[in-house]
Amino acid sequence: MNLLLSALILVGSQAADTATTLHDNRPGMYESNPLGERGVLALKWGATTGFLADEYLTRKHPKAARWFSRANLALSVEFVYGAAHNATLK
């Protein structure tokens, strides 16, 4: 799989997870993570930014692109699961 495509999938899944996290914080609902809403979002987007650094790293090591593509997709699955879970909360 193309590394750029996997990076776009990663950002899209992260955006969906963020949107559902923010949307579901209605009265009576709260982020259960001890970092709180802002801390969780900062941590998630920080990790995503770190994984997007692979575009730069693979310029010098093109053989690593396959590994980074798989890592991006694996992380995307986790974010899609989180978004789906958040969307089912009532």
How many CB atoms are located within 10 Å of the residue 41 CB? Answer: 17
pLDDT band at residue 21 under the 50/70/90 scheme: confident
**Residue 24: is its pLDDT beyond 60?**
no
Q: Give domain limits for the chain.
A: 3-88
Whole-number pLDDT of residue 63 = 81
Of all residues in the chain, the percent with pLDDT exceeding 70 is: 82
Q: If you average pLDDT over residues 18-22, what whole number do you get?
A: 78
pLDDT 10s digits, 56-84: 778 778 788 888 888 888 888 888 888 88
Residue 58 CA to residue 51 CA, distance in Å, equals 12
